[in-house]
Amino acid sequence: MPSAHDWINNPLGVVEVQNNSNPEWQKKVVDYFKDKLTEKEAQTWVPSLNDVPLHYLKPNSLVKFRCLIQDMFDPEFYMGVYEAVDPATKSKSLKCGKYKDVTECLQVEFNSRNSVTSERQTFYCVPIPGESSWVKECYARSSQAQVIPSTSYTPNRHKRSYDEDDDMDTQSQRPRDSNTGSQSSGDSQRNGDSKRQETEAPSNNTTTTQSCTSPLDLNYPLPEEQGPACLVKVYEDWESFKLNDTIEVFGILSVDPALGGVSEEKEPTSLLDPMESMETVEEQRAHSPPPSLVPRLHMVYALPLQHINPLLPSAVSEDKNAFVTSFLSELGSIRSEFLAYLTHILLGDALAAEYLLLHLVSNVYARRDVLPLGKFTLNLSGCALSATYTEHLYRIIQQLVPSSYRLPMSLHNMNSMRMVPRKDYVANRLVSGVLQLASNTSLFLDETQLEQGQLDASGVRNITALGNLISWQKVDYDFNYHQMEFPCNINVLVASEGRSLLPSDCQVHLKPQLAPPNLGEFLGAIQAAQAPSQMNRYRLYLSVTRRMDYSISEEVTKAVEEDFVEMRKDDPQSMSAEDLHRMLVVSRLLSLSFGQTTLSTDVWMKTKHLEMLRMSRIQQQKSVNGHEP
Amino acid sequence: MSSPTSTPSRKRGRASNPSTPGSEGPLSPPSQRARSQDASQGELPPMPTSPATDICSPNPQDTSLFSSPRRSVLPSEVDASSPLLYGTPSSRVEGTPRSGIRGTPARQRPDLGSVRKAPQVDLHSEPPAGENAVASDQAAGQRLVIWGTDVNVGTCKEKFQRFLQRFIDTTSKEDENCGLDLNEPLYMQKLDEISVVGEPVLNVNCGHVQSFDADMYRQLICYPQEVIPTFDMAVNELFFERYPDSILGHQIQVRPYNALKTRNMRSLNPEDIDQLITISGMVIRNSQLIPEMQEAFFRCQVCAFSARVEVDRGRIAEPAVCRNCNTTHSLALMHNRSLFSDKQMIKLQESPEDMPAGQTPHTTVVYAHNDLVDKVQPGDRINITGIYRAAPMRVNPRQSQVKAVYKTHIDVIHFRKTDERRLHGLDDENEQKLFTEERVQTLRELAGKPDVYERLSSALAPSIYEHEDIKKGILLQLFGGTRKDFSQTGRGNFRAEVNILLCGDPGTSKSQLLQYVFNLVPRGQYTSGKGSSAVGLTAYVMKDPETRQLVLQTGALVLSDNGICCIDEFDKMSDSTRSVLHEVMEQQTLSIAKAGIICQLNARTSVLAAANPVESQWNPKKTTIENIQLPHTLLSRFDLIFLMLDPQDEAYDRRLAHHLVALYYKGEEQIEEEYLDMAVLKDYIAYARTYIVPRLCEEASQALIEAYVDMRKIGSGRGMVSAYPRQLESLIRLAEAHAKVRFSEKVETIDVEEAKRLHREALKQSATDPRTGLVDITILTTGMSATARKRKEEIAQALKKMIQAKGKTPAMKYQQLFDDLRAQSEAAITKDLFDEALRALADEDYLTVTGKTVRLL
């Protein structure tokens, strides 16, 4: 197979060949890779930056990277075609600069008529924030990449992961992903890696990487995130990408150490060099970090990711349809099992379990002017059962959804955390914040952690940002002189003791039927009882139902209208337009959760029933603590 | 093109100056040069080569000639006007009394970069220099162009002078042209201004150049580095010919602006390199001042011989050998005698309006030189015109390996602040939005439809159901009235903006409506009453952390000048915050006296506010004032006050349900078909606001007068006033706005009718006295309905009677009096009412209340 895989190991060779043979080579190259990659399973042959440590990857080979576009830098002009001069023979030759960072020869003739200046765009990409460990594992397992130092690679990885697991086991029962473990093992190892690479690389300049052992902020949205960040160079259609898009990039890896911008023992900058005064040190650090930490990736092909669930086939549509139809047939049984599971988790509260399920299926599917449709923020009140219940709950949700984040809303967090991304004009980059999340990420707001005290200015801003996120599904990024609105699609679940101080679409008060003495053990046992295959079915269930189309037929529309008028006749106060909004969302989610793509009267009746139960429970709650503000 | 009248004597003087033949070339005066060049075109003389190089230089492309130390022998005598030697600093004249082109020093233009790289070449000696130029050559013979371009210095100069002398723009609207006679050549007047003011900068609108001579415009855009010095030369010749005695700081510099090539930072691409571009953006960072060396001064350590070396593309060629004593490596740089120019790095960021959704703004590095340094501050919105540059980047200064990437920047030639003009009270929207022909056509077509008003109002926030009148009100607010200036008669500006207050039950999508409007208008601001303070709304003074200067930071109201300020939760605003709105909502200005800064800022803002009732649910038994507890002084400043209530009616419910269900299942495409596109609506509004200035016609005025008289009549029958001049002004504004909706230049009766209807509709909702069910404007103007006032008087009288009936008792118990009154009166009397009655009597000096006792006087 090696010959077949040449396009993975030596993609620049392919570019070269195409270049020589055809005048329209640029398009040809892209088409070539697209063809190769859309072949069956071909994508799995390409090693992924997500699960293979950087130093195992061959420079200038084709790699893939599953990431979120965190920042977009300014477009840069590069030498598309340049004339190289051989200093020895003085002979000139034309070279191609596409997909490369550094010129190949010693001297470049700048004033040549033949040189072509082209434009490309740089994106700063980070691994998908809050990606669950099961997603990572699953992707890593499905990879069939033939990493070059394969003899050392595979066992090495296993060995280390066992070590890590042992360590982990003593701390928590939860198995952790081997990859994150191996990567977290510290800067020292990382630096060692980069050094090794250094010796292989033609350049002998080692100072650049040395100086970078000082912590370089890789700008992950979430504080405890790990994994490689990447500078992706985009050559065409960069307008089609948006900030916070999740994409899978197939590109040519470039780790030339010469790219690192900052070196400490740089010569005292001469006054006359106009280029030196242009950038601050911060900007250089942000824009040209050492490639051993932030490799460059020259994009040849990118796949926008609709979802990051590895269990669901991604792009190939025929396969997917067949897969989904076969899955739909057993949807009903999965739903009831899943509901039972959630009911157990929520200590026997079937109603809350039903709403939690709807919440997990929800998805902003459209926007009507400013109004996002389909969002379903759930406020689960009465969660302060024990100190750790919300944490356990979050762990369980984490096991179900592809990406998630738990934000403990403690006073300290609210006052000190950077939630809204902010533009740092000194370093000229977008400093990320917790709310810079990919679509369909589950955000778990833990309000039980909130204590009395004073919110300062930034705390108020953070609360406002959360409120905006919930009500309008948008985050206003702070650009210092102005704000910019970025729409998002985040499932927010607020766990609180009483009614949450944040707005929500729907509040359910938890009513535990069971009171196990040791909550942690109890929940652990429930989780342990679920076979991995069963968990996979749940994960798949959520991803599939969330993505289905939905419509309402004429007759049902009529019926719903009738119902609304009827309900308002009895008591106009009890049924407002807002209530109808919510009921329509609930009925939509309920239909989808049953795998139905149109609203039936049955589901509508069930919606009404559920809502009634929920309302009466809130009424009860109000009367219980009537003196509550 | 004759030689400057003031120069001959000097020229003669110089001719007698015994100079070496070798230095003759560069020293030849411009008049001579010009003549020879003229001749080369007009009379086809046998002299084929460039006059700047023909005499002295055996090799026309030998650039080293110009930097050769030979020149420094006679540093003050070098021809300053040659494009090849343009900006040579050695042309400084030490003598103070100077005038005329020879006497005025040229000033370096680092913004244009080094021009010396580009010698003139004969087209015939180098054929590939461009067929284009040959084709356009009118003088069929030899033709000289600057190397790499198709620019002929002489022709270009002549064209530009012709442009300056002849260009007339009668339609000019620019503020800097005010005071100029539009029927006279524009730029000659500007030159006149320069001679008076003495600021040697001539700003030239590229649009004018284009309309005058498209070919010259193309050359200017493509080869600014060569063409602008030529322009400079042309304008200086012209100027000193006309004003031979004027004294300027340095020679006039031409600063073109408004090059139409590029408007948006995002659309810059490699083809724009080295071309003249104009882009708009916002300044985000200024660097410190960078002294950039222009000319190095070397002195030999051995013989003290000095040499000047000009900086060429950022490098200095240090002379290795002293020419005087032939010692090698004896020259040392003298810093204090070298020449430096000011330079500043400015980071420019794309304006938020120009950006596609979901992307981050781009930034560009801009270099400002000399007097343009510190012209702009971070936060300023500016339009810059400059030359786009790209330079290769070295990986490491010691290595020759290069990153295959260029660094780009713009050398700025001209700044124009876009927000500064707003302070001058001029509408800048005409430059903001340029509509294409087709767009205007579609908009006009739309305007021609009879139901355009209904169409537009239904296109507004389609996801919000019904509330047709409210939407119509907001639509009129978006268009606004006509701005009128009465400052001559002492009243200042009349407010043209329409203010609207929405109050109503929570959950009636008020916030959503506000959000929609905020997203629709270009200069909208959205604040919440709860979170905003008075300073957040107005402006505050803060110390800039970098410069330690006091700077005025503007708040939401000032930022939304010419836009709409949406204030949610208006009722939750603190009183002090609300009080700043009084000025804004009537005078449309904002006065600030803080930390030594006293100023008045324009805040021509329409306010769209939303308020919730105090009791969380609207109480229909109470008046608007009682329900929202806002001061009536503020309420009367709203043109329209709408109640957004749940109508509670079956037919309405049915339609609402239908609307909502449709909202949830229809696809995006269907929705878009149904309603007018938001973009069209935006353009429509922008167009109408910019181009339509309706005036009242005779009938409409009559109708307005009648309407006003009618309104006052309604009340007068019952002994109260139901309309005030403010209401009349509101009517006028609404009528004008409605005319704008129709794209009509005249306010007609139908506009007045609609204004009346809408006004009445709003009044009906908000100014209805809950006790009588009648419309009573005094609720809004005095905070109390006429019936309530009448009732208060009755009680006071009853109390007085009661006290009088009691006979001579100097003091009474408060509580007892209250009980007595309640027993006596048939209607229920609250403590409030009783207190008010007591106060009324106290005002009559009939009694005084001290603590719990009431004393008669």
Which pLDDT score, from 0 to 100, does residue B77 have? 39
Tell which A residues from 165 to 224 touch B, by Cβ distance under 8 Å. 205
Predicted local distance difference test score (pLDDT) of residue A443? 92
- Mean pLDDT taken over chain B: 69
DSSP-H helix ranges across B198-329: 206-212, 214-222, 224-242
Picking from B191, B217, B220, B213, the residue whose alpha carbon sits closest to that of residue B203 is B191
> Same structural domain for residues B237 and B287?
no
Rounded Cα distance, B814 and B802, in Å: 13
Highest averaged pLDDT of the listed ranges A146-160, A324-338, A487-501, A552-566: A487-501
Give the chain A residue nearest B355 (alpha carbons): A484
pLDDT at residue number B133:
40
CATH code for the domain of B306: 2.40.50.140
Contacts of B391 in chain A (CB under 8 A): 274-275
Q: Is B303 in the same domain as B403? A: yes
Span B401-441, pLDDT tens digits: 556 677 888 888 888 776 544 433 334 444 444 566 777 77
A-chain residue closest to B293, CA distance? A272
CB-closest option in B316, B408, B671 to A368: B671
Residues A405-416 have pLDDT tens digits of: 998 888 888 888
CB neighbour list of residue B383: distance below 8 Å, 6 or more residues apart: B257, B258, B278, B279, B280, B415, B416, B417, B418
Rg (CA), chain B: 37
Compute the average pLDDT of residues B319-336: 80
ipTM above 0.90, yes or no: no
Residue A147 pLDDT > 80: no
Q: How far is B762 from chain A (nearest CA, A)?
A: 23
pLDDT at A195 over 70: no
- CB-nearest partner of A101 from B404, B519, B668: B404
Q: What is the pLDDT of residues B370-401, one digit of tens each?
A: 888 888 877 777 888 888 888 776 555 445 55
Judged by DSSP in three states, B113 sits in coil
Least confident of A265-279, A365-379, A525-539: A265-279
pLDDT tens digit sequence for B763-772: 766 666 656 6
- For the cut 80, the answer to whether the pLDDT of residue A507 exceeds it is yes
B298 shares a domain with B392: yes
Give me the pLDDT at residue B15, please: 37
Element containing residue A133 per DSSP (H, E): helix A133-142
Closest among A413, A334, A401, A321 to A362, alpha carbons compared:
A401
pLDDT surpassing 80 at residue A432:
yes
Q: How far is CA A556 from CA A102, A551, A562, A601, in A?
A: 64, 10, 10, 7
Give the one of B291, B407, B657 whose C-beta lies nearest to A275's C-beta.
B407
Write down the pTM of the prediction: 0.70
DSSP B174: -
Length of chain A: 629
Distance between CA B793 and CA B780 in Å, rounded?
A: 20
Q: Residue B185 sits in which domain range?
A: 153-257
Contact B398 A267 (CB under 8 A): yes
Least confident of A330-339, A484-493, B256-265, B360-369: B256-265
For residue B277, which of B340, B348, B335, B202 has the smallest C-alpha distance? B348
Percent of chain B with pLDDT over 70: 61
Instruction: Please name the member of B379, B392, B656 whose beta carbon is closest to the beta carbon of A110.
Output: B392
- Are both B181 and B284 inside the same structural domain? no
Distance from the Cα of A222 to chain B's closest Cα (Å) equals: 20
Name chain B contacts of A74, Cβ cutoff 8 Å: 362-364
DSSP, residue by residue, B797-847: HHHHHHHHHT-S-SEEEHHHHHHHHHHH-SS---HHHHHHHHHHHHHTTSE
Q: Is residue B521 over pLDDT 70?
A: yes
Q: Which residues of A touch B663 (CB under 8 A)?
A: 368, 373
**b (16+ CB within 10 A) / e for B563-591:** bbbbbbbbbebeeebbebbebbbeebbbe
By the CB < 8 Å criterion, does A619 face chain B? no
Q: Which of B339, B405, B553, B674 to mutate to test the interface with A (most CBs of A within 10 A)?
A: B405
Q: Which residues pair with A248 in a beta bridge?
A: A66, A303
Chain B (429-468) residues lying within 8 Å, Cβ to Cβ, of chain A: 461-463, 465
- Cα→Cα distances A405→A367, B148, B244, B686, B767, Å: 24, 60, 76, 43, 51
One domain for residues B223 and B294: no
DSSP characters over B41-69: HHT--S--S-HHHHTT-SSTT-THHHHSG
Residue A339: pLDDT over 80 = yes
Q: Is some CB atom of chain B closer than 8 A to the CB atom of A569?
A: yes
Q: Would you say residue B209 lies in a domain?
A: yes
CATH code, B846: 1.10.10.10
Across the interface, of B396, B507, B653, the residue whose CB is closest to A564 is: B653
Interchain proximity B345–A82, CB inside 8 Å: no
Tokens of B508: 């009636």
pLDDT, tens digit, for every residue of B706-742?
A: 888 877 776 555 544 456 777 788 888 888 888 888 8
In this predicted model, which residue has the larger pLDDT, B803 or A488? A488
Enumerate the residues of chain A whose CB falls inside 8 A of the CB of residue B367: 274
Q: Do B179 and B288 share a structural domain? A: no
CA distance A604 to chain B (A): 12
* Residue A23: how many other CB atoms lie within 10 Å: 7
Of B360, B362, B390, the CB nearest to A430: B360
Q: Which position has the token pair 């009616």?
A: B649
Q: How far apart are CA A251 and CA A62, in angstroms?
A: 5
* Same structural domain, B376 and B410: yes
B195 and B203 in contact (C-beta within 8 Å)? no
**CB-based contact (8 Å) between A373 and chain B?**
yes
> Is B664 close to A239, i.e. CB distance below 8 A?
no
* Residue A290 CB contacts under 8 Å (≥ 6 apart), including other chains: A194, A208, A209, A212, A216, A257, A259, A260, A262
Mutate to test the interface with B, among A15, A74, A474, A580 (most CBs of B within 10 A): A74
Asked if the structure places residue B387 within a domain, the reply is yes
From B35, B36, B19, select the one nearest B27 (Cα to Cα): B19
Q: Which residue of A has its CA nearest to B460?
A: A369
Nearest alpha-carbon partner for A442 in A479, A393, A370 = A393
- Where among B417, B444, B473 does a domain terminate? B417
Count residue pairs from A and B with Cβ separation < 8 A: 199
Contact A425 B347 (CB under 8 A): yes
Q: Are B70 and B22 in contact (CB under 8 A)?
A: yes
Where do the DSSP E strands lie in B703-786? 746-747
Residue B55: inside a domain, yes or no?
no
What digits encode the pLDDT tens for the residues B18-55? 333 333 333 333 333 333 333 333 333 333 333 333 33
| Mean pLDDT score, B793-797 | 78
**Widest pairwise Cα distance in chain B:** 128
Of the residues B265, B653, B676, the best mutation for testing chain A's interface (the one with the most A CB atoms within 10 Å of its CB) is B653
- Cα distance between residue A484 and residue A476, in whole Å: 5
- Answer for the pair A300, A11: CB distance below 8 angstroms, yes or no: yes
Q: CATH no. for residue B161?
A: 3.30.1640.10
- Pick the residue from chain B with its C-alpha nearest to A272: B314
Using a CB-CB cut-off of 8 Å, the residues of chain B touching A267 are 397-398
Q: Is residue B843 part of a domain?
A: yes
Q: Rounded to whole angstroms, how far apart are CA atoms B571 and B794? A: 32
| Co-location of B228 and B318 in the same domain | no
Among B386, B417, B448, give the residue marking a domain's end.
B417
- Write out the two tokens for A384: 């302060």
Q: How many angstroms away from the CA of B745 is the closest CA of chain A?
A: 32
Name, of A21-25, B166-170, B216-220, B622-626, the range with top average pLDDT.
B216-220
Which residues of B, range 242-271, sit inside 8 Å of A by Cβ? 268-270
Among B residues 405-434, those touching chain A with beta carbons less than 8 Å apart: 405-409
Across the interface, do B396 and A205 touch by the CB < 8 Å criterion? yes
* Residue B786: predicted pLDDT: 61
pLDDT band at B546 (very low <50, low <70, confident <90, very high): low
Contact A259 B352 (CB under 8 A): no
What is the mean predicted confidence (pLDDT) over A154-181?
A: 39
Considering only the beta carbons, identify the residue of B359, B399, B661 that sits closest to A584: B661
- SS3 state of residue B733: helix
Check A277 against B345: CB less than 8 A apart.
yes
Amino acid at B360: T
B183 belongs to a structural domain: yes
Residue B670 lies in a domain: no
Residue A534 has pLDDT above 70, yes or no: yes
pLDDT tens digit string along A217-271?
Answer: 778 888 777 778 888 999 888 888 888 889 988 888 888 776 665 444 344 433 3
Cβ atoms within 10 Å of A618's Cβ, excluding its own: 15
Q: How far apart are CA A463 and CA A466, in angstroms?
A: 5
- Furthest C-alpha separation in chain A: 96
Q: What's residue B18's pLDDT?
A: 39
Q: Identify the pLDDT of residue A572.
A: 65
Regarding whether B402 and B336 lie in a shared domain, the answer is yes
* CB nearest to B360's CB, from A71, A373, A561: A71
Residue A330, Cβ neighbours under 10 Å: how many?
12
Token readout for A345 is 């988790």
Cβ-based neighbours of A372, under 8 Å, separated by 6 or more: A364, A366, A472, A473, A474, A487, A489
Q: Per-residue confidence at A492, pLDDT binned at 50, 70, 90?
A: very high
B325 with B378, same domain? yes
Report the distance separating Cα B205 and Cα B353, nearest Å.
Answer: 24
Q: Are residues B323 and B253 in the same domain?
A: no
Among chain A residues, CA nearest to B350: A74
Q: What is the mean pLDDT of residues B829-854?
A: 74
Average pLDDT score over residue span A20-49: 75
CA angle B191, B194, B199 (to 5 degrees): 145
Domain count, chain B: 3
**Residue B324 sits in the same domain as residue B391:** yes
The DSSP 8-state label assigned to residue A167 in this structure reads H
Chain B interface includes A232 (CB < 8 A): no
The confidence score (pLDDT) of residue B699 equals: 80
pLDDT single digits (tens) B549-594: 666 666 677 677 777 888 887 777 777 777 777 777 777 777 777 6
Sign of CA dihedral A48, A161, A408, A354: positive
- Answer whether B42 touches A (CB < 8 Å): no
**Beta pairing partners, B552:** B541
- pLDDT by residue (tens digit) across B124-150? 444 443 444 443 444 444 456 666 667
Report the alpha-carbon distance of residue A207 to residue A257 in Å, rounded.
10
Task: Please report residues of B whose CB lies closer than 8 A to that of A75.
Answer: 268, 362
Q: What is residue A388's predicted lDDT score, i.e. its pLDDT?
A: 82
Separation between Cα atoms, residue B193 and residue B641, nearest integer Å: 52
Q: Which of A59-68, B247-256, B316-325, B461-470 has the lowest mean pLDDT?
A: B461-470
Reported confidence tier of residue B67, pLDDT bands at 50, 70, 90:
very low
The string of pLDDT tens digits covering residues A440-476 is 899 999 888 888 888 777 888 888 889 889 988 888 8
Nearest to A77 among B270, B365, B398 (CB): B270
Q: What mean pLDDT comes out for the span A598-624?
A: 85
State the Cα–Cα distance between residues B605 and B556, nearest whole angstrom.
Answer: 10
Q: Which residue of A has its CA nearest to B668?
A: A366
Beta strands B276-300; B306-310: pairing state? antiparallel
| Half-sphere CA count of A111, side-chain side, radius 13 A | 2
Q: How far apart are CA B761 and CA A290, in angstroms?
A: 67
Q: Given an 8 Å threshold on Cβ–Cβ distance, is A569 in contact with B650?
A: yes
Distances (CA, A) of A588 to A337, A351, A546, A553, A561: 21, 17, 11, 12, 15
Query: In this complex, do A118 and B270 lie within 8 Å of one another by their Cβ atoms?
Result: yes
Which of B257, B285, B305 is the endpoint of a domain?
Answer: B257
**Within a domain: residue B788?**
yes
Residues of B with Cβ-Cβ distance to A259 under 8 angstroms: 395, 403
Residues A494-501, mean pLDDT to the nearest whole number: 86
Confidence of residue A384 (pLDDT cuts 50, 70, 90): confident
Q: Which of A196-200, B207-211, B616-620, B848-852 shows the lowest mean pLDDT across its residues?
A: A196-200
Tell me, yes or no, whether B318 lies in a domain.
yes
Rounded Cα distance, B493 and B435, in Å:
29
Instruction: Please indicate whether, in this complex, the C-beta atoms of A580 and B660 are within 8 angstroms of each other.
Output: yes
